Structures are given as structure tokens and as C-alpha cells.
Structure 1
Amino acid sequence: MPSLSLPHYESLDAMALAALIRTGQITPLEALTAAQERATARSDIGAIAMRHDDMALRTAQKMSGLSASARATQTEHASLWGVPFALKDLGIALKGTVTTHGCAFFKDAVADHDSTLVQRYQAAGLNIFAKTTSPEFGQTATTESRLFGLTRNPWNQAMSAGGSSGGAAAAVAAGILPVAHASDGGGSIRIPASHCGLFGLKPSRGLVPMGPKMLEGWLGLSAQNVISRSVRDTALLLELTQGPEFGSRTGPAVAQLMAALEQPPPRLRIALMLHNPFGEPVHPTCLDAAQVAARWCESLGHHVEIAAPQLAIGDMFASMGVATAVGMLTTVNAREKALGRPAREDEFEPLNWRSLQLARNFTAEQALTARLVFDQAARTLDLFLTDYDLILSPVTSAPAPLLGAMSLDQPYEDFVKVVMTASPFTALFNMSGHPAMSVPLHWNAQGMPVGAQFAGRFGGEATLLALAAQLEQAAPWSDRRPQMMLSIP
């Protein structure tokens, strides 16, 4: 196999890549080619659902043909001008392209508009050339589907990359991209970030736009952002995309997030939550990751003590089941209307078809009750966070599973047993709407990354990012690469 262009490409985060483009050291076309070549060379990990090469090529050629003065004008207003990028194949629209949600029923669903978030990515100068894989409707914590097959973890290809933003995480971990779009309805940014040794932050409810057609996903559970190798890439993209869109009525205030990285946070009071909310065991390697993070925080002058909020866990997760199933049903119903025919069972994963049938019998009262349960959880956590600045916990209660263990194509009883190890910690903050992040500070004895989760006050992204930047400086992770990258040109 011939050598890939721009050999130093994988050492660059998005901001560094943008700086080289801005100063004319490389062109947007060279950057796109580097990403495309790596996507092809590393296609065996299954991170890419579809390519939009022609669209991206036209954009890169137009950008690369500009004069130095015109380039300077463009980059002055677009911080990431010419940087290649990918969207997750779930819940987002790029006009003229297909978003399948990982589902055969949507395999020909061409978007007639751009999502508000896509408009903001394009205004930042990003060149979208692909969509990354997702399990069908993001309904599991692995990235496997009948439509696109298996997404493999670059650190160990027998293992899951996590879900539902597993394609995004695998693409970044494998060096295809420095940063990629992701979304999170129960841990779907943080779980893949944890499994793939990356940084992932789920923002507060309402901070990043979800529209224009639906301004809130899954009764507020879902949020969109990115998975990245560097804290500053996440901070910049969140700063560039945050804020209300037309129709927005609720959400936290926007903040100067890049400025938060410039100095360490004040001494933080951190609650260390180690017990699984369901009372089940937590795997020692996940406990190790949280305790390693706690020791780093203490070494940086922060106060850490064992503490946990008291939440109505049973009601919360039952309500989450209602919200996610109704959200999926709403999307399917809209597609049925557009096609003028009903969906067929053979167009869905078995467990999602089961959920759809249950959702058809849910009542309006159940949906409203679910949102009330989420609101009460938010209130409980707000009160708890008057005594603490942050909550530190494991990301998951078990390390990355083998591929197949969390597939949506298996008996329901088997699926429930394993999937409940994925999101008992992460989903709490989807239901409450608080921001939370996974930070890669620990690798286990098998050489697999295991993240630690920090959650903060509503609208508290600046505090989370400031701590993440402090930890990144104290315990750098950007040079850690999967073994597979040493053997693939």
C-alpha cells in the first residue's frame, strides 16, 4: 500500500490543522485528501457509513484556489476553514445527502435542508466529507447494525468502539479525523470516548441547537457536540455552535469557553460517586479509572470526597424507556408519511421493532410523566451541586464489551443484562440535562482505555473544560495511539 499523504496529519488536532491551512503551509485539498486516504486505508474498522467525496472535493478545490488575501479573509471569520469533518449518521441533516439513522427504512432518506448545527459547522469552515456509523436509532451502547455491520475499536478490533457515536470515536482514534460530530442520548458521546481513549463532552440541555424541524430530541435526553483528541478542539467547536436558534425558548447562557482553558480552575469540591445507581457491581477497571482521576484532581489541589445524590433511579430509567421509544416512533411515523406506506418489520433491528410496537401503546400521560420525572431528577442534582462543584464517577460499570454483546439483534432478556452495564452513570445526566464529560486518564492492564466521567452544574461547561485542560496538561493523552496505527501506513 502506498504511503499516505501528509505523514504528520495524525499528530495534528483540528486547530493545528486549521493553522497550517490559514498560513498556506497546506491546502484544504491536501487536508481532505489526507482524511480520505486514511478513511480508505482503515476501512476495516467500519467507522464510515457513507462518503460525500464529490461534495467535499468541490468545496476543497474552491477553497484551495483562493488567493492568499482571499484565504486570509475567509480564515479570519471561519476558525476551522478547510478542516475535514464528518457528521454522525443519526439525527442530523446535510441537504442533498442521506441520513439513515442506521436503519434500512431510511436508506434512501435524502435531506431537503441543513440542520442548524450543520449550518454552524459550515460557517466555522469545516468541510464535511462523510457520515460516521451509528447503531439503529442510537438505541444501544455499541455501534453495530444490519445496515453497516460492525464498527471495531481501534485499540482492539474484537471490542466495541462504544455507542451510539462509535463511528465518530473510531474515526478519531484511528487518525482519520482529529474531531468528529457526535450525539448523546444516554451516554453516546461519553461511552465511545471512554472506550477509544478520547475526550467527549455532552453539553447542557438546550445549549447546542437540535433543529430546525425538532428543537428537542427524545424529550430533552439528546444533545449534540463532538468527540475529539484535544480539549481545545471540543471547546472551540462548542463555542462556535452554542446558543439558541429560531424557536428556542430554554437553554443555558452561552459562555466564553476558549477563555476558560487559559487558566486553571479555582479549587473545586468534587463528589466521588463509585456505587452503581442500580446497586450492581462496578468492574474494578472502571473503579480504577475514577480513582485515578480522583488522585489527579487531588494532586492539582482540588478536594475530593465520597458522596452521591439520592435519585429515583427506577422511575428515571422507566421514563427513559418511554422517551427513547416515543422519539423513535415519531421519526418512523414521519418517514411513513413521506413514503406513503407503513414500515415493515424486516426493515428494523428486532429489538427496535419490539420497542416501536410498545411505543404505539404509550399514552400522552406517560410521556408527560417521563418529562416530569426528568425535571425532578434535575432539581435533585441542582440541589446536590450546591454543595459540590462537580460529580466524578466511572463512565460505565464495565469496560468495552466484545462485539455482539450489545447487538440489537438478540433476545431482549440477554440484551438488557449487558446493556445495563453501559449507562447507569452516564444516562443520569441526560435525564437531568446537566453537562458531563469523559476524560481519558487510565489504560487497563490489557492496554485498553477507560475514561472517567465528570458532571457539572447546568450551564457549567466552562468549569468542566477548564478542569479537562488542567488534567490534559498534567497527564497528556494525545500521543497515545492504538497499536493498529503502527502497522497501517
Structure 2
Amino acid sequence: MNITEYAAHDATALAELIRSRQVTAAEVRAAAADALDRVDPHLSAIAGTRYDAPLACDEDGPFAGVPFAIKDLIAHAEGVPTRSGSRMFGDGVTYPYDTHLMARFRRAGLASMATTRSPEMGFNASTEALAYGGPTRNPWDRTRSAGGSSGGSAALVAAGALPMAHANDGGGSIRIPAAACGAVGLKPSRGRITPGPDFADPLMGLGVEFAITRTVRDCARLFDAVHGSEPGDRYLLPAPDRSYAEHAGIGSRPLRVAFSATPDDPRRAVDPESVAALARVAQQLADMGHTVEEAAPDIDAEAFDRANLDAWCSFLGDAVTGAAAQLGCTPGREHLEATTLACVEYGKSLSAFDIYAAERVFNTATREVARFLTGYDVLLTPTTAAPTVELGRLDADDASLDARGWYERIFEYGAFTSLFNATGHPAISLPLAQSSAGLPIGMQFVGRYGDEATLLALAGDLERAMPWADRIPSVHVTTLGVG
């Protein structure tokens, strides 16, 4: 299998080639290794170097032999160092066990070949951690951000090096990099994918796990393979009436769709090209027979942002304090980037009363979004306030920013995503448009709690109506030599 053949197939197609013995898993992995070696010197998306050999996986899984990567945050594999994007962890901490999701990736047959970069502790909408010695670059424009916090995964998928890769999302960290790099990014409903055994409700329930893919069918088939709870989880969501892959293939019924180009905080500016792209997608939905109208939930943005800031900073404060105790160090600038340290210090100043107050705000927001979605099947927004941002705009080592200043900097760009981490609703970003400069523009679709089936069915329809497969970034495995 040559590099062009490899890059032309999504994970579903690669799995079928292996299953039907048209190629061997070893041949596919060799092509993937070549692909990773071609693109990573241009993108800096891998944490360290790719593995000497793929991690063990089930040869009978639905994606048996398909190349994959795991993000350097939250989920981890037995014996594989993880750093959470931070110098605090040196060369990485290893665990003697897989997280539940990692075990499911293995059972699905995915051959993990590398760890992808994350910003420090995941609190950034760009992937520029000092721990790795340089930023992850966007394959469409190397002066631009690949998004965050799953920017390493998104960059490798968009550049054709991998058909899909692990990602997670606490404020937009699947959807934002998917939008920036022109990929598919599904944030599942809270509780749909187990966060165990390390967490019950990561980040006060904001954090969820899944992946970034190039195609909707890969997204749906991988979701079929890894969703579901484990003993001890707090949630048990009902399964769909048929597989998610079937929903994506069959398509959607006529839906009632609300759309809005205005962030919850209307003071946050939205790029005119993103607004225009939203209007085109809304018209496409109307042409497909859906009922489309402009509307949005009514959210108290000031209260929400304070609650979200407190949730994030208390999480960072707890994570760093716990790690410091284990590592026997006192966190300082030699360990943490300036804004991380500022957020940790602010988080440590919060009381239990502050966290309960944040929970009350999240409850109000959740009930408002749920109420709103009784009248609509789907809410459509831009995924981000602009196609992407220039590298350095989201510099987490900017000592001039306090915790609130850093929060505002992140969510000026990620203006549409974090609400649905707080409410737990599923949301998916699709690369349905491009800017005049050729940068991807992602569109976010939000569904009712537990109803990923409707989102994937609609996504399948939109992929067929507004295809993106032929769009190739300037940094791509088919256009680069090794090194």
C-alpha cells in the first residue's frame, strides 16, 4: 500500500481492506508510519516521537489494524508516558493500567502509533505547550493554530497521516480543533462514554472523551464501538434504536432547526465569513426540507462565564496540587506556564460555596437549553468565532494575563462551544465551509441530551450534500517527502 492509497481511505475502508485480505495490517501500519514521518516535521503534532511499534490491540475488532493515536491528556495506556502537556511531569508519568476508553480502543482493533500534543492541562483553544518545545501548526496554514486542546490529533487527521485519533472536550476541545483543521468532531452527551476509572465527572462534568475523524461514517462506527458505561459510572444512557452507523447512513427525518450567529455573550465578535457560512448552511438545510428559523437559548452570559471560570480553575488547582504532592515539588514558573499558574492560584482561592454557586448556574443553563430544545431538534451555530487564529494569539505563557484575562482570551475565539459542556448536550462540528483564504470553517450542531443519533443522521446527509473529502490542506501526506 503506497502513501496515496493509504490517505485516500478512511478508517472504515482501511478496516475492510484488511478484513478482506487485500492488504495486511502490517502494510497499513507501514504506510501510516511513513505518513506520520512525512507530516510531523511540518506540524509538530506528536508528543515526543511515534512509538517503535503500535500498541497491542484486538485483531477481531471492527477497526482491526487501523492506525490511531492517543492524546496526551486524560485517557492513557498502560506503560505509555503521559505529560498532560506540562513540564511539571518531566518525561511523563506511566500508569500500570489502561483507562476504560483506552481498553475499548484496543478492543475495537485500533493500532495506536503515537501520542498527540495537548496544551498544558488542556486549558487552551490552541496547542502551543512549552513542554514540547514549539506549537502544533495548522496543516492549512502553518502560521495558524490547529486549535485546542486536541490540536495534535486534529492536525494529523486533517493532514492524512491518520484516519482518526483520540480527543477530549471540556470547553470545545474536540470541536474547536476539528473546525480549525477541517475535520469531524463529535462531543458526546455527558455520560455516553465512560471516563473511568480515574474520573467520575471530569471537570465538574464538563469533560468528555471521544475522537476526531475525517468522515462521518468513521465517527459513527467508532462511537458504536466505544460508547457505554462501566460499573461504577454515574450515568447509564439508553442505547439508540439502531446503530449510530445506520443512522448516519440512512439520514435524518425532517427536522426543526434553530440557528444563531450570536454567541451567548453578544459582545464577542464573530468573523463575517463565519456568519455568511452559517447562512449558507441554514439555507442548505431549508433546501433539504428541514424547517429552519433563527433562535437561540436565553443564557445569562456573565453568570455563566463566572461559573465556567470557577469550574476550570478549581479543576486545575486540584490537579496541580495533587500532582505536586505526588512529585514532591512546589509548582512554579519552571513547572507551569504563566496562565496555568494564575488559574491554579485562583482555583485554590475558591471555596466550596463558590463551587456550589457554579453548579446552580450550570443547572439554570442546562434547563434553559433543554427547554429550548423541546421546540427544536437541533441548534446550529458556527463552531468558533473565526476560522482559526494566528499562532501566539493564545499564548498560555503570557504573564500579563490573570485567570479571568486568560479565560476571556480563550473564549473570544471559542465563543460557541463551552455552554454545551456545562449542559451535557451532544454537539458535532462539521467542516462545511471555507474562508476566502482557504481555511476551514466549522459548523456546530447541538442536539437533545442523549440524541447523538439525530446529529449523526443529519451529519451524514450534510456530508453527502456538502462534501469536503476533496479539500486537501497544503501540508498533506500526498504532497510531502519524508523529513
- TM-score class normalised by the smaller sequence: over 0.9
CA distance in 1, matches of 2:272, 2:6: 36
Conserved in 2, the CA contact under 8 Å of 1:179 and 1:227? yes
359, 363, 385: which is aligned to 1:375?
Answer: 363
80, 85, 106: which is aligned to 2:89?
Answer: 106
CA distance in 2, matches of 1:376, 1:205: 17
Using structure 2 for the length normalisation, give the TM-score.
Answer: 0.94
Conserved in 2, the CA contact under 8 Å of 1:429 and 1:436? yes
Task: List alignment gaps of at least 5 residues for structure 2.
Answer: none
Using structure 1 for the length normalisation, give the TM-score.
Answer: 0.93
2:480 equivalent in structure 1: 488
Q: Does 1:338 align with 2:326?
A: yes
**Shift, 1:253, TM fit:** 1.8
Q: 1:51 to 1:129 in 2, by over 3 A?
A: farther
Conserved in 1, the CA contact under 8 Å of 2:3 and 2:34? no
Letter in 2 for 1:83: V
CA distance in 1, matches of 2:239, 2:355: 29
249, 253, 257: which is aligned to 1:270?
Answer: 257
Q: Does 1:33 align with 2:30?
A: yes
Q: Deviations over 1:277-313 (max 9, x none)?
A: 2112311011122112112211111111011111122
**Shift, 1:416, TM fit:** 5.2
Question: Which consecutive segments of 4 or more residues in structure 1 shift more than 4 A?
Answer: 413-417
CA distance in 2, matches of 1:95, 1:329: 26
Letter in 1 for 2:454: T
Aligned 1:135-146 pairs, distance under 5 A: 135-146=119-130
184, 188, 205: which is aligned to 1:203?
Answer: 188
Q: Does 1:258 align with 2:275?
A: no
1:412 equivalent in structure 2: 401
1:440 equivalent in structure 2: 431
CA distance in 2, matches of 1:35, 1:376: 46
CA distance in 2, matches of 1:301, 1:6: 40
CA distance in 1, matches of 2:328, 2:12: 46
CA distance in 2, matches of 1:416, 1:186: 11
Aligned 1:257-336 pairs, distance under 5 A: 257-280=244-267, 281-336=269-324
CA distance in 2, matches of 1:263, 1:244: 26
Aligned 1:115-194 pairs, distance under 5 A: 115-148=99-132, 149-194=134-179
CA distance in 2, matches of 1:174, 1:444: 18
Secondary structure in structure 2 of the residue aligned to 1:409: coil
Secondary structure in structure 2 of the residue aligned to 1:7: helix
Conserved in 2, the CA contact under 8 Å of 1:405 and 1:415? no
Conserved in 1, the CA contact under 8 Å of 2:387 and 2:435? no
Q: Does 1:45 align with 2:37?
A: no
CA distance in 2, matches of 1:251, 1:380: 23
Q: Does 1:216 align with 2:216?
A: no
Query: What is the CA RMSD across the aligned residues, in angstroms?
Result: 1.7
Question: How many equivalent pairs are there?
Answer: 471
**Shift, 1:206, TM fit:** 0.7
CA distance in 2, matches of 1:55, 1:211: 26
Letter in 2 for 1:265: S
Aligned 1:75-94 pairs, distance under 5 A: 75=60, 78-94=61-77
Conserved in 2, the CA contact under 8 Å of 1:92 and 1:99? no
Secondary structure in structure 1 of the residue aligned to 2:95: coil
